[in-house]
Structure 1
């Protein structure tokens, strides 16, 4: 892969330097690029609608898909009923939206009670418990579920089909269930040579700890061909695009006091994001002069908080926005690069599912959302989302070839296959500020490998070494 290309060198740093006229020139590969994120762009924004509409639109669009999957799994003779038509004891199939009643779920009422000198709620990373209940809803009714279904793994907002029977006590005994599974996938074109897309996230600029800045500059130098010998530069020329997946700024740049303090107290202070955005613009200037770059917003970046997050404004990048190679994208992100369809987020959807389910691996959550055929099932229950009215844009209508999530605790990748021969590369893109690791996706083979930049930090001793490996 990329490391093999970098090893193919005719000379090294220890060899005699070539004259200026003999220096090799490596042309960067430039694949075809087609952005496909129009469905995540918001036009006229209205927050006067109720969120019930997005659940209704989700169920209406998913019901035909799940009905077909139920007939494939349990036979065409299986009866698919709505909740209002259920008959006690009848074996049938129901399609509906899951609701998970959770006792530990954060509530504004609990926050208000803390203000009245009651015991504060303990800090939690997961909010699941043995007392959680699963409920299935359709347009008119709801019913409690029991039986062969993992309630700890399920999350609110998932649309599934269940098979079983209603008991005399009004509860539904689940014998089996199924999801919509992977959608239809277009054929991936055959490439004659290796071309790479570099994925990175969580740069965390503007933090009080600048430990990752050396690693970040090494990453920029590697991509632009200013790092290493001719073999490294030859490998860098095969990087056709760079994708930055959210959290470009650090959480410490969010000044919560600025919105609550009196204006005269903050008159001469400067927002923490100003210097961080200036630094980001300077880093992007180095990149976009050499390679096309897609920039996605994240949880801590200066754009709208709710999904889908809109692209960062070009006025924030006075230096780099001059170059046509800078593409400011939305979150979620969708594009075709040399016929390979990329789909991914900055990680808010995965982190939210991790808090409200027993799943801890980002790869496992990515696969689960892909088989649910929905990017963010927990939106709008526990994840901020725009109140869509007639359509849910987070439903996956076409299967991607590369499905990624940013700001993961560590690098992970996995190739999964669907029931109809679909092949999808799942990538958990690590947070660069803490791991100093990016990852390279080979468009020809759909393989992925990490590129690590370990640099000196204040916590290391004097014997620390700087390591660049891929």
Structure 2
């Protein structure tokens, strides 16, 4: 029996954006396809077949007037020595520091000597294994090194890419590229130029600005946060309460309330719950209630998050994406969090649990916008491949030019073994590309005039108190910083205990700071 939806109070003064049926790829995995019996190699074949034609068309257009009359070679193993040619394939980074499953198994398992024994006049050989107690080293923040090699592969085989041009290019495993060059006497391919698929056509073509201005003049924003980190040992409860009060128009003065009324909906881009820290169990025989031990698990973070979402959901629609620390599995694409786990907010029609990544299509007046949102795992994984100084904003822009949002899956980013089609390929350019779970705010407008895209990196809210606001009319981005002058429940830093007693706690004073993106925020 379906739960009855609670009525949502109407707010006539709040801007509204209409949710449209999504034209983007669906990241929902049907139950019949939730199988891991298929090989992951099929993903690379699907990716190469999907992007080969786009890369080849750009390569022919780019290199048709190059001196030397380069020829197209259909397979990487068919390149001709000392002849200028170009070929399309998949990048593979051979990196000594890359995590290896086989090394993990070798570290955990130690074979003992063979021990023969007699059974029913026959000799059998058995191997017993003993588990080690050696903890693996922490994963490195970077897996690149001077010993890395760049390969280009397709259905026929693999060839090594060399040259200053390819060494300087920001490449990661899984990118489909075209390379122009010649084969060297030792069998390598020296690259002189590189070609990508480039940004695909937009889902919604650019509208007539003059006609749109005649229909509506006022702005509508969407608010984006990431990393609420509810349930962390040092939770930012004051920031969370300020977030609720700001979005509902209860914080600050009249100007802040007017600003909040322009926010049409909220997007939470992952990491809403903190990573669960399980305490060591003292007695396994201890009785457990409802299937878990209440000394090692607490439901309070989920209840706290539900209370926050209820207050906001009565005011505006909410789109909740899972993240790396949320209980939604670790493989991409992450499936929606169960609505039932959020209690009362699950009955609101304004509350939506999304996949990670997800597409959200919105309409504001005569304008239509497509949002592509993910919680940051693909960008974090790709960032490990590049030496410092590398910019996350440049890497996010590169994914649009590659027409692929997560090329390192399944090599170093866990993903589902897709067999029929790969959803991470970008068939169209979104109007807004939102990436959560980042260290700091950054934004950039990229692409030619007919396929412009606003990239927004959303910082961790629990540590920065930053809310990102994106104008649905102009696609401009700005931030609102929520902070308190004094920590709630604590003493002022200049206040000392008197007469051996702690001072009386001073209530927190809210401070809302709104800022337009400047040059320091535009680039990392």
User: What range describes the TM-score normalised by the shorter chain of this pair?
Assistant: 0.7 to 0.9
Shift of 1:31: 1.4
Where structure 2 has 5 or more consecutive residues not aligned to the other structure, the ranges are 1-10, 109-131, 496-507, 515-524
Aligned residue in 1 for 2:54: 65
In the TM superposition, residue 305 of structure 1 has moved relative to its aligned partner by 1.6
Task: Could you tell me which runs of 5 or more consecutive residues in structure 1 were left unpaired when the two chains were aligned.
Answer: 1-24
In structure 1, the residue matched to 2:255 is 231
Question: Structure 1 residue runs of 4+, over 6 Å off?
Answer: 116-120
* CA drift at 1:181: 1.1
* 8 Å Cα contact 1:71-1:78 kept in structure 2: no
Say if 1:61 and 1:284 are closer, same or farther in 2 by CA, change over 3 A: same
Choose from 413, 417, 420 the match for 1:390. Answer: 420
- Cα pair distance change 1:237/1:42, threshold 3 Å: same
Q: Secondary structure at the match of 2:383?
A: helix
- The answer for the alignment partner of 1:4 in structure 2 is none
C-alpha distance in 2 between matches for 1:282 and 1:205: 11
Q: Are the equivalent residues in 2 in contact too, given 1:134–1:151 (CA < 8 A)?
A: no
1:177–1:206 CA distance, 2 compared to 1 (3 A): same
**3-state DSSP class of the match of 2:469?**
strand
Aligned equivalent of 2:79: 86
1:279 pairs, out of 263, 284, 304, with 304
Q: Of residues 243, 255, 268 in structure 1, which corresponds to 2:278?
A: 255
Look up the match of 1:428: 457
- 1:60-87 CA distances to partner (integer Å, 9 max, x unpaired)? 1110000001012111764221123221
Alignment partner of 1:232: what SS? helix
Matched, 1:222 2:239: no
Quick one: structure 1 residues 87 and 257, their matched pair in 2 at CA, closer, same or farther if it must change by over 3 Å?
farther
Aligned-pair Cα RMSD in Å: 2.5
Partner of residue 372 from structure 1, selected from 396, 399, 402: 402
User: Considering only CA atoms, is the larger Rg found in Structure 1 or Structure 2?
Assistant: 2
Give yes or no for contact 2:372–2:432 (8 Å, CA) kept in 1. Answer: yes
Give the distance between the partners of 2:36 and 2:106, measured in 1 at CA.
28
- Superposition deviation, residue 262 in structure 1: 8.4
8 Å contact from structure 2 (residues 225, 468) kept in 1 = yes
- 1:402 is aligned, of 428, 432, 452, to 432
Specify which of 172, 183, 187 is matched with residue 205 of structure 2: 187
Q: 1:424 to 1:166 in 2, by over 3 A?
A: same
Given the alignment of the two structures, is residue 42 of structure 1 paired with residue 29 of structure 2, yes or no?
Answer: yes
Matched, 1:311 2:368: no
Cα gap change, 1:181/1:273 in structure 2, threshold over 3 Å: closer, same or farther? farther
The superposition leaves residues 234-262 of structure 1 with CA deviations (integer Å, 9 ceiling, x where unpaired) of 221110110000000112x253968xx98
What is the total number of aligned residue pairs between the two structures? 441
1:128 corresponds to 2:140: no
Following the alignment from structure 2 to structure 1, what is the Cα–Cα distance between the partners of residues 412 and 374?
Answer: 17
Are positions 1:461 and 2:453 aligned together?
A: no
Q: Does the C-alpha gap of structure 1 residues 218 and 313 become closer, same or farther in structure 2, counting only changes over 3 Å? A: same
1:322 aligns with 2:347: yes
1:160 corresponds in structure 2 to 177
- Are positions 1:438 and 2:454 aligned together? no
1:98 corresponds, among 68, 85, 91, to 91
Separation in 1 of the partners of 2:237 and 2:21?
Answer: 30
In structure 2, the partner of 1:56 is 45
Post-superposition offset of 1:281: 0.7
Deviation at 1:466, TM superposition (A): 5.0
Q: 1:365 to 1:33 in 2, by over 3 A?
A: same
Task: Call closer, same or farther: CA 1:128–1:415 in 2, change over 3 Å.
Answer: same
Report the Cα offset of residue 452 of structure 1. Answer: 0.5
Is 1:452 aligned to 2:481, yes or no?
yes
Cα distance 1:35–1:409, how it changes in 2: closer, same or farther (>3 A)?
farther
Does the aligned pair in 2 maintain the 1:196–1:239 contact within 8 Å? yes
Comparing 409-418 with 77-86, greater Cα deviation is found at: 77-86
Give the equivalent residue in structure 1 for 2:270: 246
Moved more, 229-238 or 139-148: 229-238
Stretch deviating more after TM superposition (91-100 or 300-309): 300-309
- Give 1:110 shift: 3.9
Output the CA distance in 2 between the equivalents of 1:125 and 1:266: 41
- Residues 278 and 306 of structure 1, relative CA distance in 2, 3 Å threshold: same
Q: Take 1:28 and 1:35, find their aligned partners in 2: how far apart are those partners?
A: 22
Aligned to 1:146, which of 136, 156, 162? 162
Q: Deviations over 1:288-325 (max 9, x none)?
A: 10001100011111112211111111111221011100
- Relative to the length of structure 2, the TM-score reads 0.79
TM-score by length of 1: 0.88
Question: 1-side partners of 2:433 and 2:414: how far apart?
Answer: 21
- Residues 91-133 of structure 1 deviation map (CA, whole Å, 9 limit, x = unaligned): 1111000000111112234445555699975752111100000
Give the aligned partner of residue 227 of structure 2. 202
Match of 1:14 in 2: none
